[in-house]
A = this chain, B = another copy of it.
Amino acid sequence: MTVSPRVTVWNEFQHEQKNPKVAAIYPTGIHGAIAQHLQSEGFSVQTATLDQPEHGLTDAVLAQTDVLIWWGHVAHDQVQDKVVDKVHRRVLEGMGLIALHSSHFSKIFKRLMGTSGNLKWRDSGDRERLWVIVPGHPIAAGLGECVEIPAEEMYGEPFDVPTPDTLVFISWFSGGEVFRSGCCYRRGRGQIFYFRPGDQAYPTYHQPQVLQVITNAVRWAAPAA
């Protein structure tokens, strides 16, 4: 295991620049919030966004990334195929990938899954509980039996993805739905973790347990030495 994985946090960074409510929640962007947390955990972290040349994911950046975190929502189509090709290749070579929330529809996640990524959704501030299905799994380390998020966008089944190699979390929503919220995959030499929370309209990535999951997932997804 790499002693300290090098993490790149990629964010399309659109909502935060256009919507004052989102900017108020994430003044330095979703990537900023996640990066700051991971730095405080001792990881070597950089960020990259859509508007940068090559979306900030140059060959040099990718070559020095052990784990790539991905957040996208309204601008999936603006991500260049050439960059997706490179990220895909790096994952197959062993770079870990953590796909967050609406990244279920990102080009890179769909490329790796081979499916549509379709799901149900409703933006009504449901209460969400992420139940730990595999107690003792490294991605659930330090959590209790469930993580409760006071208000979130709802995602519901069926979620059109391949059966996860390991299903770590299942979400319960107050409105009546369930969702496979923590899904582990291996593709080539790369470890992939899909993690359902955080919609841009809620301060989910400020919640300590959610950040704990991301920390755990980075350690899990990092390539073996």
Name, among A94, A134, A180, the residue most crowded by chain B CB atoms within 10 Å (CB to CB).
Answer: A134
* A window 104-142: CB within 8 A of B: 111-116, 129, 131-138, 141
- Determine the residue in chain B with the shortest Cβ distance to A108: B114
Check if A163 sits within 8 Å of B178, measured CB to CB: no
A186 to B172, CA, bound (A): 25
Check if B176 sits within 8 Å of A157, measured CB to CB: no
Interface residues on A, range: 35 or more
Contact residue among B112, B172, B189 (Cβ-Cβ distance under 8 Å from A176): B172
* A window 89-105: CB within 8 A of B: 92, 94
CB distance from A3 to the nearest CB of B (A): 12
Note all chain B residues with C-beta closer than 8 A to A137.
224
A156 to B131, CA, bound (A): 9
- Determine the residue in chain B with the shortest Cβ distance to A138: B224
Contact residue among B1, B112, B115, B156 (Cβ-Cβ distance under 8 Å from A92): B115
Name, among A114, A171, A224, the residue most crowded by chain B CB atoms within 10 Å (CB to CB).
Answer: A114
Check if B134 sits within 8 Å of A186, measured CB to CB: yes
- Determine the residue in chain B with the shortest Cβ distance to A174: B176
Check if B189 sits within 8 Å of A135, measured CB to CB: yes
CB distance from A115 to the nearest CB of B (A): 5
Contact residue among B132, B158, B186, B188 (Cβ-Cβ distance under 8 Å from A132): B158
- Mask of A151-181 contacts with B, CB within 8 angstroms, 1/0: 0000011111011011100111100111010
- Determine the residue in chain B with the shortest Cβ distance to A109: B114
| 14 A-B interface contacts by CB (under 8 A) | A94-B136, A114-B187, A115-B187, A115-B188, A116-B188, A129-B176, A131-B158, A132-B158, A133-B157, A141-B224, A162-B186, A165-B166, A170-B170, A170-B178
